[in-house]
Amino acid sequence: MRRIRSVILAILLGLGALADVAGASEAEAWSALRAGGHVVLMRHADAPGGFGDPAGFKVEDCATQRNLSARGREDARKIGARLRSEAIAFERILASPWCRCIDTATLLAMGPVKTEATFGNVVVLRDQRDSLTSGARAVIDQWTGSGNLLVVTHGANIQALTGIQPASGEIVVVRGGSGGGSVPVGRLILD
């Protein structure tokens, strides 16, 4: 009986430690966003249909792609409102050329959005995965702005860059201008 109690206590302490790590990650992300000079990788908001896009999709034709759901559009607006309420601003905003990324970035209402091909979907463009990821790392490593750079892209792209598989609408803050890759600072789930 004593051994069972010890195991249960150890599990509870372990869960508490995980909660502390998650809280610290969130606190560090907010601190980094307020300090500026970081790159914010955001996975597009909810777009049902799994990974990738339907056969025959065209990047220039939103009707052929997976697009944001009503929930995804609302989540993007809420995330933007939360960032604005925290006085977070972005010096530059880039998005994958996929419509769900452009729409997420636009609905955040944080500033003008420019598409950047190197953040294109590495699942669909798997034959270009290495070059897209290298190009994305270069953009991140070259960021030396005093403000933050926001990049709205795909979960698989963020995983390739950081090792983190984000949820829809999740934000992963990384160091900019490091020259050493995409070092995660913290994560935020705001929807």
Tens digit of pLDDT for each residue in 138-152? 999 999 999 999 999
pLDDT of 67 > 90? The answer is yes
For the chain, what is the mean pLDDT? Answer: 87
Say whether 90 sits in a helix, a strand or coil.
strand
Q: What angle do CA 51, 52, 53 make, to 5 degrees?
A: 125
Amino acid letter, 132 = L
Predicted pLDDT of residue 50: 76
Round to whole Å and give the CA distance between 163 and 184: 9
- Domains of the chain (ranges, CATH numbers): 2-188 (3.40.50.1240)
Amino acid letter, 67 = N
